[in-house]
Chain A
């Protein structure tokens, strides 16, 4: 009676499984794409709330949903967009922002000064834990909005901050407001180009200073596009044109931001024609990319800067000659040519060439490949026999760290090992605990196009990303003097003097300046990328 039971059962199970697999996937039919719509590959954004967005993916999506106060031209000089004018007093301390009139959010609300003030207050308020909150630290009253945990990581809870609003923000009329800084800063207009300074509509707030929970899932902005439906996590974000947008009107009717977990997968889709723009071609694919894409493979400058740092507690690197020797032992050209296939260029300065005030080769002889001199210096300074380079394994750094180690081995005749930590936080933890890490891999992308955005965070004593603990009072005061200078030109002079100190001290080894290496399908043309690793959504258009 059970005749061919197993077979029947197997067939039945298989049929049910396949039916289940086939049926439940009908939902993909509704995103029928319009002919004038393009797709751009990104990774899952961390957040779509402007004051909580500090990485390129979220920023890229926000660029379509919002219209910033200023944008930057090819020379990184800011020009006003949503602002009619931005003026300042003599001391660069009080800045007056006048908004263009007639602009609305995509839900119809007019854009007013309040939208900016409320958004910035929300972003600056410590307990909201907004990742971009540090951008507001130059504004008067920021410190009073932060809470200090009395016992660090201990169980005691932090007190509520004294203030909920920035005292430096003042509304003059519905389209004008002033920003008072705690100290004069000539480059403030550039800073305001960042996402943190975008406005939020009334609809974003559930109460005074409380953001509606659903806002981050479907942000309403003042930009040329509005979100279609909601953020489909790990899948896509679709945006469509806003009817009669008052500002610059993009040439495409809609953008699908396709979310990829892995650049390799995005590249496969690009080559197969399922994706229109990929903003980052993976290094391994570069060798075949020119064959796959032809002239649709493009490059443009980016602000990225890669280097290795010497943690201050690593006694063996306290000799300047040891640091110089290690720098001279590295053949940067060979590395950028062989490992990066020319997609990055050798760095011989401490700030990126994309900012005004950059001088080539400030590092001078110290960054020139010279194995003979390197070995002399190293032996004379009695450098360590074993070198370690610690890096995080989730960022594709192994290839060049290994190559760098091989160069050091060959030049100095010492042993060198690349040590991988699963992620950057693990690397930082080791540095924090003062464990032996050797050299540490670091990188920097600028927030706003000023030299100070490299010098301040990376090399000043209290710099937010100065993980290696470099400290030189002379350097700190030059950076501060530059920031307080009346004009950006005067500021740059001071900053250049500061950079000269770095070239002498060699607290880090500059390695490479990055580029945007991107590709697009035959469907689109006029694809350009800016210094912030974002596609210019106003220029891109459909090819004929």
Chain B
């Protein structure tokens, strides 16, 4: 117990934030940008992400081959011509499939993470900050959501949405499933760091100085508690891109002739002993993309976190 008392006793009293914020010093965002500009990791991640996004938006920039042009007679054939990664067990061009696979993988990963992130932020922040009955209600809601099996939600959404021909490829259903069920971790992590942050002295100080809830949340608590949340979210993006593969494997993922890294990976897994290529290449692209988003998340977080100044 002694160390905690020591901590509170010896902590320097926080200076109240200068009214109006901007004044003499740069704003938080400007500060962050100043830092980011000089970070090599940030630039490396950004370049990678731009490439992947380009691939997702205009795959024909990267390959002239058609990922749906598959001929059984060249099953597992080696690299030739434009097919620099060789052919898979259906005789499809692995390079073309990997390039075209970026679109749905990115769409599913990014949008489901956005949905999960927004819900998680709102729920975690309000539960942690306001506490009391709201916390109880929201936390129990998280528990209820945790009880819903992913597979069940995926099947229900898949069935309901597939009746509309526009959604028959399953992209919307998979995105919504991962988004609607994936926010619970983010929310709980957010809530716990908000609880920690709001008990800090500077928050008490700011409150005593008359700061309102909005100001407390967005200027003091959020910047100090967002770090674990950003980490969870960037990793969630990776998990969601990979989860699409698992859902496809279980038969409730993308449908029809949709091409995605997840589908390519789960299809190639069975043949890994005879032809590892079709498994390795989409995995490499998937890993690189996930890596880029996580590096970006790290860099941004470091830049924005006032405690790391």
Q: Do chains A and B touch in the complex (CB under 8 A)?
A: yes
Determine if B89 is an interface residue (Cβ-Cβ < 8 Å): yes
Inter-subunit contact A422/B252 (CB<8 Å): yes
Instruction: Determine whether the beta carbon of B256 is less than 8 Å from that of A338.
Output: no
B251 touches A420 (CB 8 A): yes
Q: List A residues 365-418 near B (Cβ within 8 Å).
A: 393-394, 398-399, 402-403, 405-407, 409-410, 417-418
Q: Is the CB of A418 within 8 A of B271?
A: no
Q: Is the CB of B251 within 8 A of A393?
A: yes
Q: Is the CB–CB distance between B73 and A419 below 8 Å?
A: no
Whether A356 sits at the interface, judged by CB under 8 Å, is no
Interface status of A282 (Cβ within 8 A of chain B): yes
Q: Does B75 contact A (CB under 8 A)?
A: yes
Are the CB atoms of B1 and A406 closer together than 8 Å? no
Cα–Cα, bound, A17→B256 (Å): 44
Q: Which residues of chain B are near A419, meaning CB under 8 Å?
A: 168, 255-256
The minimal Cβ–Cβ distance linking A501 to chain B, given in whole angstroms, is 32
Smallest Cβ distance from B212 to chain A, in angstroms? 36
A418–B90 CB distance below 8 A: no
Flag whether A489 is at the interface (Cβ < 8 A): no
**A377 CA to B143 CA in the complex, in Å?**
60
Q: Is there contact, CB below 8 Å, between A284 and B257?
A: no
Partner of B1, one of A2, A264, A283, A417: A2
Q: Is A27 an interface residue (CB 8 A)?
A: no
A410 B71 Cβ-Cβ under 8 A: yes
Contact of A287 with B274 in the complex, beta carbons under 8 Å: yes
Is A363 part of the binding interface, using a Cβ–Cβ cutoff of 8 Å? Answer: no
Considering only residues 265-281 of chain B, those with a C-beta below 8 Å from chain A are: 267, 269-271, 273-274
A24 to chain B, nearest CB (A): 25
A428 located at the interface, meaning its Cβ lies under 8 Å from any Cβ of chain B in the complex:
no
**Is B155 an interface residue when CB atoms closer than 8 A count as contact?**
yes
Interchain nearest-CB distance for B7 vs A (Å) = 14
B271 touching A284, Cβ below 8 Å? yes
**CB of B56 closer than 8 Å to a CB of A:** no
B70 in contact (CB, < 8 A): yes
Q: A281-315 toward B: CB 8 Å interface, digit per residue (1/0)?
A: 01111011000000000000000000000000000
- In the complex, the chain B residue whose C-beta lies closest to that of A406 is B70
B window 119-170: CB within 8 A of A: 155, 158-159, 168
Q: A284 — which chain B residues lie within 8 A by C-beta?
A: 269-271
B72 at the interface (CB under 8 A from A): yes
B1: chain A residues within 8 A (beta carbon): 1-2
Assess the B251–A402 pair: CB atoms within 8 A: no
Q: With the chains together, A335 CA to B73 CA distance in Å? A: 10
A339 interfacial by beta-carbon distance below 8 Å: yes
Q: Which residues of A contact B255 (CB under 8 A)?
A: 419-420
How near does chain A come to B88, taking the closest CB pair, in angstroms? 11
Residues facing A in B235-270 (CB within 8 A) are 251-252, 255-257, 267, 269-270
A334, CB-defined interface residue at 8 Å = yes
In the complex formed, the residue of B with least CB distance to A396 is B270
Q: Which residues of A lie under 8 Å from residue B68 when comparing CB positions?
A: 409
> A241 to B139, alpha carbons, bound, how many Å?
58
User: B55 to nearest A CB, angstroms?
Assistant: 23
User: Which residues of A are found within 8 Å of B273, using beta-carbon distances?
Assistant: 287-288
Q: Which residues of B contact A423 (CB under 8 A)?
A: 251
Q: How far is the CB of A351 from chain B (nearest CB, A)?
A: 27
Contacts of A407 in B (CB 8 A): 72
0 or 1 for each of B84-118: is its CB under 8 Å from A? (1 = yes): 00000111000000000000000000000000000
Query: In the complex, how many residues of chain B place their beta carbon closer than 8 angstroms to a beta carbon of chain A?
Result: 25
The closest CB in chain B to the CB of A419 belongs to B256
What's the least CB distance linking B173 to chain A, in Å? 12
Measured CA separation A406–B91 after assembly (Å): 10
Are B252 and A335 in contact, CB atoms less than 8 angstroms apart? no
Number of interface residues of A (CB under 8 A): 32
Are B270 and A282 within 8 A (Cβ)? Answer: yes
Decide: B251 and A394 in contact? CB cutoff 8 A.
yes
Q: How far is the CA of A538 from the CA of B149 in the complex (A)?
A: 45
Q: How far is the CA of A426 from the CA of B159 in the complex (A)?
A: 10
Contacts of B75 in A (CB 8 A): 338
Task: Looking at the assembled complex, report how far the CB atom of B188 sits from the nearest CB atom of chain A, in whole angstroms.
Answer: 19
The answer, among B91, B257, B270, for a CB contact under 8 Å with A418, is B257
CB-defined contacts of A283 to chain B, threshold 8 Å: 270
Question: A334-B72, A406-B72, A406-B90 are contacts. A418–B274 as well, Cβ < 8 Å?
Answer: no
Expressed in whole angstroms, the minimum distance between the Cβ of B50 and any Cβ of chain A is: 32
Q: Which residues of A contact B71 (CB under 8 A)?
A: 406, 410
**B90 neighbours in A (Cβ, 8 Å):** 399, 402-403, 406
A287-B274, A288-B273 given; A403·B72 CB < 8 A: yes
Q: Are B252 and A417 in contact (CB under 8 A)?
A: no
**CB-CB < 8 A to A282: which residues of B?**
270
**Contact string against B for A residues 259-288, beta-carbon threshold 8 Å, 1 for contact and 0 otherwise:** 000001000000000000000001111011
Are B256 and A339 interface neighbours, CB within 8 A?
no
A residues in contact with B257, CB < 8 Å? 405, 417-418
- Chain A residues whose CB sits within 8 angstroms of the CB of B70 once the complex forms: 402-403, 406
Q: Are A335 and B72 in contact (CB under 8 A)?
A: yes
Contact between B72 and A338 (Cβ–Cβ < 8 Å)?
yes
Closest to A407 in B: B72
- Asked if B252 and A418 sit within 8 Å, CB to CB, the answer is no
In the complex, chain A residues whose CB is within 8 Å of the CB of B159: 426
Find the B residue at minimum CB distance from A422: B251
| B contact residues around A2 at 8 Å (CB) | 1
Interchain CB contact under 8 A, A287 and B271: yes
Binary contact track B290-305/A, C-beta < 8 Å → 1, others 0: 0000000000000000
* Option from B158, B251, B252, B274 in Cβ contact (under 8 Å) with A288: B274
Bound-complex Cα distance A240 to B277 (A): 48
For A405, the chain B residues whose CB sits under 8 A away are 257
Q: Which residue of B lies closest to A405 (CB)?
A: B257
Shortest distance between the CB of A285 and any CB in chain B (Å): 7
Is A285 a contact partner of B251 (Cβ separation < 8 A)? no
- The chain B residue with its CB closest to the CB of A291 is B273
Q: Are A285 and B270 interface neighbours, CB within 8 A?
A: yes
The answer for the CA separation of A418 and B168 in the assembled complex, in Å, is 12
Name the A residues within 8 Å of B89 (CB-CB). Answer: 338-339, 399
| In the complex, residue of chain B having the shortest beta-carbon distance to the beta carbon of A402 | B90
Least CB distance, A272 to chain B, in whole angstroms: 15
**In the complex, which residue of chain B has the Cβ closest to the Cβ of A335?**
B72
- Residue in chain A with minimal CB distance to B3: A2
Chain A hits for B267, CB < 8 A: 398-399
Distance in angstroms from A539 CB to nearest chain B CB is: 32
User: What is the bound-complex CA distance between A214 and B256, given in angstroms?
Assistant: 45
List the interface of chain A (C-beta within 8 A of B).
1-2, 264, 282-285, 287-288, 331, 334-335, 338-339, 393-394, 398-399, 402-403, 405-407, 409-410, 417-420, 422-423, 426
A284-B271, A406-B71 known, 9 other contacts, Cβ within 8 Å: A285-B270, A288-B273, A334-B73, A335-B72, A338-B73, A339-B89, A403-B70, A405-B257, A407-B72
The 4 closest A-B pairs by CB, nearest first: A284-B270, A393-B251, A287-B274, A406-B70
* A-B pairs with beta carbons under 8 Å apart, 25 shown: A284-B270, A334-B72, A335-B72, A339-B89, A393-B251, A393-B252, A394-B251, A399-B89, A399-B90, A402-B90, A403-B70, A403-B72, A405-B257, A406-B70, A406-B71, A407-B72, A409-B68, A410-B71, A417-B256, A417-B257, A418-B257, A419-B256, A420-B255, A420-B256, A422-B252
